[in-house]
Chains A and B, each alone.
Chain A
């Protein structure tokens, strides 16, 4: 339980000790985060986002969703320039805070397809649900289990190891899990984070037994500035009520980093 799953990274070698050296190695290891913004609908970079993502490799996705009856080409022709100049403005804000930024602008009939494709193309660890926050001092990291947890730790360590941010690891016990199981799971994650450069005294662990994870996470989140949580497989429940990450984001009203599952190699 304590060993850290190091599944996810074939592409980037992990250069842990490179932190002392200057940028190059450090930057290659930065966690990539996709930030989707519906630029033409007036969405802009919310307060606190540049700070939150100062250490990230940001893929800034400007998108515009067009109804099925309109050709995407037609919308690009008419709105492309405006959208692109707005997107460049937003990119500058993020760069000013210290992030590496790539921009993509996409005209689409279906935003989910687009977000999915881009997060895959850029191998993004997480997708941000862009909500505003006042400063970033504490982060709630909701963890479900060992599968893919390495992506969570890479993201959290990458974003917050050098920042003065308190990290709360939060786990809700499953049906057949004992509190001891949960504790050893979180301690393993903590050890991994420490190894990746997060100071141990900034990490807190909390275990709870709750019936409705979404409610629990949302109410916990209120005392934090941002939430990190995982994706959920689509099911009838998510179809009816929406993705848990969306529901949490709606109630919490702050930024939520949704950690993406490892994509199958093609």
Chain B
């Protein structure tokens, strides 16, 4: 770095784009412009932890039962399809993120690359997409908390998943209002504990399924009766398990050496969780028949673990499930409030929404705007609907990220100097974009309806409130 004073930093900042000056862009953003500079504090491990921590909760601890019920053992194929789509988007998103290492992620790329209209749809859509995702994770968290009562042998008159999820929603929102200082360190620790538990469990499970510990389990017919259609429908449902990599981009402003760490964290976390998901389904469907798994519902993995290792296994998975869904829910609530900040900074919604509270340093209005609807949605308890609407809104964003990449590569504006270039950029972006939009078509009509209504409302809001905001190419 340079040891010069702030004035010099400012002058020398717009360095040539390539080679060693790869983080010149990041330096411009962080440099002092008379109001102070910004410290980047999240390294590669932290970035991976955000991605993995946000994603792993859903794919392993909520979906296996539901997915297996719909698609049988081929549900692992559904997860693989999701991973491929996510990767096809993560690569273009990485290129855009290194060109625009700013907080706001997908919204920032699209509003700068395609203009305010698409930006508003994605920005407001991202906020609500994260609201739906958080509500979904909260119901998952509630299911695991309810499982604790079951394991302890306490009979409850009602299914506690929804009430507990709502309670956690209120608690987490309040917690984030009062500035939990070490959330990053906590997140890292949780992710490491989770990966250790899962690796042990899945290794044992895989060996068992392959017949090492006794009789090989009779494999079910791989494809479900409906053929490929249920597999694709399930891929659309479980795509919620891959939303987390975009969260890495929403904290792009905090990532050290973004040109190196952003692509690694995004692509790396998708590959890592993708492998875990596919193996999880393989293990789960080899332990029980698909129909049986479906009956177990959200906490199917607890029963799978119990069948292998008995009560200790069940307990380990309950603990892991609590941690995973907790960290996913928490990360999504925080991301939702960052999404609110991003759109309000640009004047798409009133600026008041991003005010910080000086005493706690937290955006109390944004957290309220995020936390309120999350709690309401969690109260509905509609796991599959919540997941699909969240996926819908994210997939729209992912598709547009790909469009933005193609657009920017064609236009080549002066400021567009990414230090990471997506290999075979046009092809990857075209396929990624098409795949994202195509996946939407396999969702339930209700989810598509709600998602489309939200997009229309977001566009309507833009026409009403923000037509005079010009964001394209605005840095």
Contact of B341 among A64, A71, A76, A84 (CB under 8 A): A71
Q: Among the listed stretches A101-109, A157-165, A209-217, A218-226, which one makes contact with chain B, having 4 or more residues with CB under 8 Å of it? A: A101-109
13 cross-chain CB contacts under 8 A: A69-B179, A69-B183, A71-B338, A73-B253, A77-B345, A79-B358, A80-B34, A84-B34, A105-B32, A106-B39, A109-B41, A109-B184, A110-B41
Answer yes or no: A66 CB below 8 A from chain B CBs: yes
Answer yes or no: B286 CB below 8 A from chain A CBs: no
Q: Among the listed stretches B1-9, B91-99, B230-238, B467-475, which one makes contact with chain A, having 4 or more residues with CB under 8 Å of it? A: B1-9
Q: Among the listed stretches A19-27, A116-124, A199-207, which one makes contact with chain B, having 4 or more residues with CB under 8 Å of it? A: A116-124
Q: Which residues of B contact A (CB under 8 A)?
A: 1-3, 5-6, 29, 32, 34-39, 41-42, 102-103, 176, 179-184, 251, 253-254, 334, 337-338, 341, 345, 354-356, 358, 360-363, 367
CA A114 to CA B30, docked complex, whole Å: 13
Answer yes or no: A136 CB below 8 A from chain B CBs: no
What residues of chain A lie closer than 8 Å to B183, measured between beta carbons?
67-69
A67-B362, A68-B180, A77-B35 given; name 6 further pairs at CB < 8 Å. Answer: A69-B338, A106-B36, A106-B37, A106-B38, A109-B41, A110-B39
Interface string of A33-74 (1 = CB under 8 A from B): 000000010000000000000000000001011111111111
Answer yes or no: A113 CB below 8 A from chain B CBs: yes
B39 touching A117, Cβ below 8 Å: yes
A74 touching B1, Cβ below 8 Å: no
B36 touching A83, Cβ below 8 Å: yes
Q: List the A residue with the shortest CB-CB distance to B104.
A: A71
Contact of B36 among A84, A109, A110 (CB under 8 A): A84
B361 touching A72, Cβ below 8 Å: no
- CB of A142 to closest CB in B, whole Å: 28
User: Sorted from nearest, which 3 A-B pairs have the closest CB atoms?
Assistant: A80-B35, A105-B36, A108-B39
Answer yes or no: A178 CB below 8 A from chain B CBs: no
What residues of chain A lie closer than 8 Å to B41, measured between beta carbons?
108-110, 113
Q: Which residues of A contact B (CB under 8 A)?
A: 40, 62, 64-81, 83-84, 102-110, 113-114, 117, 120-123
- CB of A31 to closest CB in B, whole Å: 15
B337 touching A107, Cβ below 8 Å: no
B36 touching A107, Cβ below 8 Å: yes
B253 touching A68, Cβ below 8 Å: no
CA A84 to CA B176, docked complex, whole Å: 27
Say yes or no: A70-B356 contact (C-beta < 8 A), given A77-B345, A121-B2: yes
A70 touching B1, Cβ below 8 Å: no
CA A70 to CA B358, docked complex, whole Å: 12
What residues of chain A lie closer than 8 Å to B338, measured between beta carbons?
69, 71
A104 touching B356, Cβ below 8 Å: no
- CB of A58 to closest CB in B, whole Å: 12
Q: List the A residue with the shortest CB-CB distance to B252.
A: A71
Q: List the B residue with the shortest CB-CB distance to A87.
A: B36
A107 touching B38, Cβ below 8 Å: yes
Q: List the B residue with the shortest CB-CB distance to A63.
A: B39
A104 touching B102, Cβ below 8 Å: no
CA A76 to CA B251, docked complex, whole Å: 15
What residues of chain A lie closer than 8 Å to B102, measured between beta carbons?
73
What residues of chain B lie closer than 8 Å to A68, measured between beta carbons?
180-184, 334
Q: List the A residue with the shortest CB-CB distance to B182.
A: A68
Q: List the A residue with the shortest CB-CB distance to B354.
A: A74
What residues of chain B lie closer than 8 Å to A81, measured between beta carbons?
34-35
A79 touching B356, Cβ below 8 Å: yes
Q: Which of B29, B41, B363 neighbours the largest number of chain A CB atoms within 10 Å of its CB?
A: B41
What residues of chain B lie closer than 8 Å to A64, measured between beta carbons?
36, 361
A78 touching B355, Cβ below 8 Å: yes
CA A105 to CA B356, docked complex, whole Å: 18
- CB of B1 to closest CB in A, whole Å: 5
Q: List the B residue with the shortest CB-CB distance to A32.
A: B3
B179 touching A109, Cβ below 8 Å: no
What residues of chain A lie closer than 8 Å to B6, measured between beta carbons?
103-104
What residues of chain A lie closer than 8 Å to B179, measured between beta carbons?
67, 69
Q: Which of A68, A69, A73, A75 neighbours the largest number of chain B CB atoms within 10 Å of its CB?
A: A69
CA A66 to CA B179, docked complex, whole Å: 8
Q: List the A residue with the shortest CB-CB distance to B5.
A: A102
Contact of A62 among B36, B251, B355 (CB under 8 A): B36
B39 touching A107, Cβ below 8 Å: yes
- CB of A10 to closest CB in B, whole Å: 13
CA A79 to CA B35, docked complex, whole Å: 8
Contact of A71 among B34, B37, B253 (CB under 8 A): B253
CA A68 to CA B254, docked complex, whole Å: 9
Contact of B360 among A67, A77, A80, A103 (CB under 8 A): A67
What residues of chain B lie closer than 8 Å to A107, measured between beta carbons?
36-39
Contact of A69 among B35, B39, B180, B345 (CB under 8 A): B180
CA A91 to CA B325, docked complex, whole Å: 48
CA A75 to CA B182, docked complex, whole Å: 18
CA A108 to CA B36, docked complex, whole Å: 10
CA A51 to CA B3, docked complex, whole Å: 26
What residues of chain B lie closer than 8 Å to A73, measured between beta carbons?
29, 38, 102-103, 253, 345
What residues of chain B lie closer than 8 Å to A121, measured between beta carbons?
1-3
B1 touching A71, Cβ below 8 Å: no
CA A106 to CA B32, docked complex, whole Å: 8
B37 touching A74, Cβ below 8 Å: no
What residues of chain A lie closer than 8 Å to B29, measured between beta carbons?
73
Q: List the A residue with the shortest CB-CB distance to B360.
A: A67
CA A241 to CA B183, docked complex, whole Å: 22
What residues of chain A lie closer than 8 Å to B39, measured between beta carbons?
72, 106-110, 113-114, 117
- CB of B465 to closest CB in A, whole Å: 20
